[in-house]
Amino acid sequence: MIRLKLKPGRDESVRRRHPWLFSGAVSSREGDGADGLAEVAAPNGSTLARGVYSPGSQILARLWTFDGRDVDGPLFRERFSQAWRLREAMVLTDTTGYRAINSEGDLCPGVLLDVYGDTAILELLTEGTQRQRAPLEDVAREIVGGRRLVVRESGAERDRGRPLRPRTEAKEDLVPFLENGLRFFADLSAGQKTGFYLDQRENRIRLRAIAREKTVLNLFSYSGGFSVAALAGGARRAVDVDSSGEALALAREHRRVNDLPAADADFAEEDVFEDLRRRVAAGELWDVVVCDPPAFAKKRADVDRAARGYKDINRLAMKLVSPGGWLLTCSCSGLVPADLFQKIVFSASVEAARSFAIAARQGAGPDHPVSLDCPEGEYLKGLWLAARS
């Protein structure tokens, strides 16, 4: 275990139980941290917290305890069990895909556990949790019972800002599961997130409810979850636009297994920005436009550039919404707070010369809890905008 001593005046966030310790707050280090564990000390030397250590990250430690408890197997078992009981209390109708452990939201920073039917995937998001893989994996196997457990390591690459090439032992590419009675596949070996965007379940439910007889343009569609929900709700047509041919192939398969229309013209493998510009120039109008881009801000230095990207994509998307139609616009950038995102969207509406009203705000569902100690965990922002003109 490494001991991290804080600079004078830099201990307030730890005392407030915030789980992120940034490297700039540390004045000295004792030990090598080879086991992935860290102890945080105040400037006077008193112990404040313990957690997992990631020397290659700006977030030097993710903090698990603030009461002197060790970070070990018994703690992992307690936290995992609490998270599992919370999911057991949720009422999920005809749904076998959900998040079982949500990192900071379940007091397990650096750890995700997603369930897809008979398979669970444990993702270790930091170098520190990777070094604690053995006890974390042991406890996860206890919690998921007879399900197959796949472990995915993305921490070292993520901490060092490298392109993610998560290591996983998945023996098959696609794992089936249900969401509100619809059939989907999680791509465990190469997919986004742990294989599917479970965090958008609530927005897919809302889209399905309003989709009857509507045309739907699904931007940054990935594997087409929004389009499947819309078509299941009676949409007249849904078009998926994404730069990934592999994602669109899976989107087509999702329609096939749900007995939904899958015409070739309904899948556009394009740069979404360029595709939008062409559609605007052609004067297209759609009843519903879904805009769910990837995170544009991965670090604080990216926020200004991300804001420009969000404004540009929303300005174009707004021009494609029919009067009386809908735009669902989302941001999954945790570094772009909700108030800033709303200001960006307002600015986009001014430039698009379109008027919209916020009919609803919708983020992730109850299987993605957010800790009061770490509001940054509320990364997904969704605005349902009703077009007025």
Query: Residue 209 phi/psi, 5° resolution?
Result: -70, -25
Give residue 373's identity as a one-letter amino acid code: D
> Could you write out the three-class secondary structure of 142-205?
HHHCCCEEEEEECHHHHHCCCCCCCEECCCCCEEEEEECCEEEEEECCCCCCCCCCHHHHHHHH
Tokens of 84: 């599992």
Residues acting as catalytic residues = 332
For the beta carbon of residue 44, count every other beta carbon within 10 angstroms: 9
Instruction: Read off the DSSP letter of residue 31.
Output: S
The pair of structure tokens assigned to 275 is 């595709």
Termini Cα distance of the chain: 61
Task: State CA 56 to chain mean position distance.
Answer: 22
φ, ψ dihedrals at 3, nearest 5°: -105, 120
C-alpha atoms less than 13 angstroms from C-alpha of 269 in its C-beta half-sphere? 10
Helix (H, G, I), strand (E, B) or coil at 303: helix
**Quick count: other Cβ atoms within 10 Å of Cβ 389?**
8
Please give the single-letter amino acid code of residue 295: A
Q: Dihedral sign for Cα 89, 93, 94, 99, please.
A: negative
CA-CA distance, 225 to 206, in Å (whole number)?
13
Angle at 299 between CA 298 and CA 303, to 5 degrees: 90
